Structure 1
Amino acid sequence: MTTATPTRKHTRVVRGATAVMGGRRSLRPSPYLVFGTLFWVLMSAAAWRVPICCDFGQHAAVVERLKADLLNPAHPMADLPGAGSAYYSPYAVAQGLVAQLTGLAGWQVVKLTGPLNLLLLLTGLGRVVRTLSPRPWAPVLALAFMVLLWGTKMAWWSGYLGLMSMTGHLSFPSTFGIGLAFWIWASTARLARSGGPLAAYAGLGILSGVVLLVHPISAVAAMIGVAAFVAGWQRDWHARVVGRWALVAVVAVLVATAWPYYSVFSLVGDQSVDWIHKQLYTEMDARFWLALIGLPALWLRGLRDRRDPLVLMFVTEVAVIAYGWLSGHYTYGRILGLTLVPLQFALAVELAQARPWPAGRRFLAQATAAAAALGFLVQGGAVVPRSVDPVGLDQPPRWAEYDWAARRIGPGEVVLTDGYRPSRSLPGYGPNLVAPAWPDASLPEPERARRQRDVAAYLDPGSTRAERAAIVARYHVRWLLLDPSQKAPQEAVVVAWGPRTGEALARVGPGRRAA
């Protein structure tokens, strides 16, 4: 039988999903479709089994407040107005609408968002890598390197795409923002190379505005990527081209400005969370050194083309991180996770090249395989349950649940606690706190600090009953959640104990429920 030669157009149609053999179309999924699907199933299951921990309660609380009032949500964690809170992004409002329509709890909606975010991330990754290389295995390698090539000390932070970190942060806005950023990069690359209709540029501007609203710090890295692809691949610069790229910027700004819940531009220069992010700059060598194996691949790309987008992206992101350190605006360190992407993707593209390989590439492949294996030893516990783990891999955090307390606390009722974990988890079930755990634009920092002092004063063993009563009345406190080492005040009635932690839930004062 003579094998028919497919036309270029035909090849584009069947690439990845089908193959042309003997003049007939034969279904054959691409390697990335197979391995990406397997990864989606495995990681979705792994993330689902991780209990509520860390910042999850904050995001679930946001959905609860939007579920209660979609147009005028309260402060995410306190019995206060929520006007101006940056948590009320288009992403969160969509989650709140789903919660209203389905009746699901905030934490349930946030959990269910994880697989959708992962799907956006995986499809975006595939699109970006295909703009860099036509090789079918390049996206598979890019995915493997993205989740494994980090460091030998755990990097657990929202927006970090390591295997372990993804289990806890898959359902967060940062993951959605990064997935959207990948799609933005792919669209930018296509427009820079081949151009497109005016609507395509306007659409890119809309997506850019959305990512800016959903996760502003990820938007910094996203826009660096856009600039890198435009600077690297846009060759013909004339008035029409300049106008179209200007349209992208104008539409993005208009979308961000039109959002009614908060002003994203008010966050410029805001240092209220810089103290939290200073720790991102600690132990960077231990957290990220495995990714540096991608430097030779990135260096080769730079030698071939000084305007290579991955090289431009990496250099610019490193400069932004350095600025964050030198200026004290440590929040810019949040782009560290995406700064590794050019290294990881460049390595994937280099190793996906057709054989025979030169000696240098063979050595790079062997070193990468060893680094990936080491990365799995560090992070493999994310997907390997303890029950079937033969070597004792590190596992994701397993915080105690607070549903036992939430069942007794009415929606919007105020809880006084200074516990690290309950103050981060309990609001995700609907209750409010006297002192929110995180800074928020809808509550001035001096007021949040005053509330923290009042919590400490109430729990001080030397406080008088009158002093405690004044604090209860001031914040409409209905409940106390006490650590086992803390003694319940005389006027409090303990109604339940935490099954794992021994914490006590006590009722005080008449309180009131938020409207």
Structure 2
Amino acid sequence: MRVATKPVIRGAVWAAASLLVVLLLLVIVRLPWAGDLGIHAATIERLRHHLAAPGNPLVDADTPSPYYSPWMLLLGCLAKVTGLGTFVVLRVAALAGLGLLVTGVVHLVRTFSARRAAPPLALLCLVLLWGPAVFNWSGFPGLNSLALTIAYPSTFALGLSFHFWALLRKALRKEGGGWPVFLGLGLLWAVILLSHQFTGVVASFGGLAMMLGARPRPSRAVLVRSAGGVALGTVLLGLWPYYSFFGLFGAGGLEQIHRSLYRDLLPHFGLALVGVAALVLRFRRDRRDELVLFFLFGAVVFAAGGLSGHYSWGRVLPAVLIPAQLAAALDVFESGRAGVRRVFAGLLGAALLVGAWTQAGTLGYVVPRDALPTPVAAKYRPPWPGYKWLAQEVRYGDVVMAKTFPSRQIPAYGPYTVAPGYPDFFLPDQEQRVTAVRDYFAAGTARAERLDILRRYGVRWVVAYPGDGGLRADDPALRRVATGPRGQVLYEVVGG
């Protein structure tokens, strides 16, 4: 009976991981809209129309943007050459990102363990071992978060990161790797950093941990090749023509946005404590364990960000969680005594079940809500509706006056907005634009001043909910054109 149990458990782990992958494939068909999908769609739209000089993706301004990464450039080329719709291209991006992530996890885990069940168990830990409360953020691959960010560059970059760590770990082994291997790793490192800067920091910490924890210690020749790879990657970062990577180091204005990363840590990430316990066991066996070092690098920077008020440093949190999640999967097989392994496996299984239940609302993206059991349906949160209704009237390149939330979606269809829906480090008049939008909708602003704002930014359309403010609905300068969800109205600017 004892002999038969292991294949049954292994089969269950593979089946559960396969079901999660199938679920995410079905999510890609639906491509639920939330968060930053609008800006990534807008980036593809700009590249489709102006590949060499796309300008700002959100507002009508000739400025660089960190969203023009190598990955988005490739997607823009795909859109331009094939004529595929932007959201079709985003589905292609989602499929590629998922493929890279799954194969990357398998690739890395196999460098740590030959156990057949280790890779699928690591996938389960990566997407389920988070917390008893749902947490969604790009670069944080919880199941529900991943369902909403599967098409984002962060997913692509994270998938590449797993392959980067695996390839680096292989290159550092006794047989080592030649110059082409390490130069290729430098190129890969630069692509990750350019494609999603926060994930690039996580990838860098992971790479440093693989270097410091390598056994045997890297020879002088390997260290020289590694330095050559870093030098090549750094040169490529400096040469990237679409934005100044090193100019991002002076960027500000991100602290308040990221402050929530330091709130409710146990509800959002408490299940990963099982992995922290596994890291403790790994540390007792090996003081230079790569996953332990990876975790410590992330934990130190995360703590420093919270103590110093640099809350944007909280984006390094995947460098804390990912090594803990991987350690949880690996230590089911590696913990010393059989009794310890059984206890740990029981704790991990319970944590995974809690994580699965927490994120069960993800099923709502592929199953009609009324077909879900009531407790699961209660966890489902509908995605954003988008602005397809507006795109039927507004042409590519038109400028739309809208508040912040609509401004995060409208550029996905080709128009610009007066102010960007997200902080923009390279837009010199960002504050003036934000002030102009606020003044236009403010209750005490005179009609003449509102008309001046519309003229100043070449506004052709206004989008507003009832009660938003701005020019009156019956103002002669506006013509009501269409009505969207929840009473939102599209007005054409027809005069002054």
The two structures have a TM-score, normalised by structure 1, of 0.88
Rate the CA distance shift 1:411–1:234 in 2: closer, same or farther, 3 A.
Answer: same
Rate the CA distance shift 1:168–1:320 in 2: closer, same or farther, 3 A.
Answer: same
Q: Does 1:402 align with 2:402?
A: no
User: 1:53–1:425: 8 Å Cα contact kept in structure 2?
Assistant: no
Picking from 163, 166, 178, the partner of 2:146 is 166
Displacement of 1:392 in angstroms is 2.6
> Structure 2: how far apart are the matches of 1:285 and 1:207?
34
Picking from 45, 48, 51, the partner of 1:67 is 48
Which aligned pairs between 1:359-508 and structure 2 lie closer than 5 A? 359-384=339-364, 385=367, 386-393=369-376, 394-418=379-403, 420=405, 422-444=406-428, 447-486=429-468, 487-488=472-473, 490=475, 491-498=477-484, 500-508=485-493
Picking from 114, 120, 123, the partner of 1:140 is 120
Picking from 276, 294, 301, the partner of 1:295 is 276
Displacement of 1:290 in angstroms is 0.5
Match in the other structure for 2:7: none
Q: Secondary structure at the match of 2:81?
A: helix
Q: Secondary structure at the match of 2:486?
A: coil
Aligned partner of 2:426: which letter?
S
Considering only aligned residues, what root-mean-square deviation do their CA atoms show, in Å?
2.2
Displacement of 1:378 in angstroms is 0.8
User: 2:14–2:117: 8 Å Cα contact kept in structure 1?
Assistant: no
User: 2:238–2:245: 8 Å Cα contact kept in structure 1?
Assistant: yes
Displacement of 1:52 in angstroms is 2.3
Displacement of 1:224 in angstroms is 0.8
User: 1:482–1:488: 8 Å Cα contact kept in structure 2?
Assistant: no
Bigger mean CA deviation after superposition, 149-158 or 51-60: 51-60
> Structure 2: how far apart are the matches of 1:196 and 1:30?
36
> Structure 2: how far apart are the matches of 1:57 and 1:510?
30
Which aligned pairs between 1:225-236 and structure 2 lie closer than 5 A? 225-236=206-217
> Structure 2: how far apart are the matches of 1:509 and 1:314?
58
Aligned partner of 1:228: which letter?
A
Q: Secondary structure at the match of 1:268?
A: helix
Bigger mean CA deviation after superposition, 502-511 or 182-191: 502-511
> Structure 1: how far apart are the matches of 2:164 and 2:12?
23
Displacement of 1:485 in angstroms is 2.3
User: 2:464–2:489: 8 Å Cα contact kept in structure 1?
Assistant: yes
Which aligned pairs between 1:52-63 and structure 2 lie closer than 5 A? 52-63=33-44
Displacement of 1:260 in angstroms is 0.8
Match in the other structure for 2:263: 282
Rate the CA distance shift 1:401–1:351 in 2: closer, same or farther, 3 A.
Answer: same
The two structures have a TM-score, normalised by structure 2, of 0.91
Q: Which runs of no fewer than 5 residues in structure 2 stay unpaired?
A: 1-9
Aligned partner of 2:321: which letter?
L
Displacement of 1:38 in angstroms is 4.5
Match in the other structure for 1:22: none
Aligned partner of 1:388: which letter?
A
Aligned residues: 477
CA deviations on 1:33-89 (whole Å, 9 max, x unpaired) are 876655333202124324322211011111111111011012111011132x11111
CA deviations on 1:357-406 (whole Å, 9 max, x unpaired) are 62222121112111111111110111353233214321244212210011
Rate the CA distance shift 1:31–1:251 in 2: closer, same or farther, 3 A.
Answer: farther
* Aligned-pair identity (%): 38
User: 1:477–1:509: 8 Å Cα contact kept in structure 2?
Assistant: no
Displacement of 1:237 in angstroms is 4.3
Bigger mean CA deviation after superposition, 323-332 or 92-101: 323-332
Aligned partner of 1:94: which letter?
L
Q: Which runs of no fewer than 5 residues in structure 1 stay unpaired?
A: 1-28
CA deviations on 1:391-435 (whole Å, 9 max, x unpaired) are 432124421221001110010100001152x21111111110001
Aligned partner of 2:397: which letter?
G
Displacement of 1:270 in angstroms is 2.0
> Structure 1: how far apart are the matches of 2:268 and 2:29?
25
Aligned partner of 1:346: which letter?
A
User: 1:135–1:353: 8 Å Cα contact kept in structure 2?
Assistant: no
Picking from 146, 151, 155, the partner of 1:175 is 155
